[in-house]
Amino acid sequence: MVKLFCAIVGVLGKAFPVNIDAGQSVGDLKKKIKKDNPGKLKGIDANDLQVFAAKKGGAWLSSLSEDVKKLKNGEKTALIEALTKENQELREEGPLEDMLSGMGPPSFNQTHVLVVVPKVESKRPAAAEALASISKKFKPEPKILTELLPLSVTEGEYQLDKLSEKRANDSPMVPTPDLHQFWKEYGGFPECYFIRQEEVAHQVSESPVF
């Protein structure tokens, strides 16, 4: 059993220890890292983590070095950049013994493993995605009135032209079939409107508005 101190690259925070058997694989180490950091690695699959050996010139990085101090502050120095290049990544199926081979035994005040977390794109829940897809599929494209079109309406749709009279219509609902048909594709127009039995004090102009 070895104690490896790991640090997450680009994330503010201290190094954390992971106790693991040297005979286990890099994939096992990733699972331990994920398990010990449920908050920082929320939504990240263990297999998506990238891990690198934190060693330089045959020695583990000292926790007192400037590179590690900046690493804990969320910064990446040139050395950390070099150690986390893609060709330096430890293989998932590789044994930890390969990383430990030729090195002194891991001890305190050292950093042994560098962890790189993949960027996570925010995704909407599957239900929301499905609803958005259905809405987009059935939502009609809005039409824009780009030219003047002829409009003819029946006289019954202008029953408010005599504004000073008392309304006492047995059927206060005034149908507007022509207006409704003309405007339904450009925002809509009610099929009818309601006339209250009272004196209308407003003015309605039948002149077109340009």
Tally of structural domains, the chain: 2
Q: Is the pLDDT of residue 186 over 50?
A: yes
The pLDDT tens digits for 38-58 are 888 988 999 999 999 999 989
Report d(CA 91, CA 97) in Å as an integer.
Answer: 12
90 and 42 in a common domain: yes
Domain residue limits at 163: 143-205
| pLDDT score recorded for residue 115 | 97
60 and 159 in a common domain: no
187 domain-assigned:
yes
Instruction: Say what the pTM is.
Output: 0.57
111 and 13 in a common domain: yes
199 and 100 in a common domain: no
| pLDDT score recorded for residue 94 | 94
CA-based torsion, 22, 108, 32, 115: positive or negative: negative
7 and 82 in a common domain: yes
84 and 175 in a common domain: no
31 domain-assigned:
yes
The pLDDT tens digits for 70-85 are 999 999 999 999 999 9
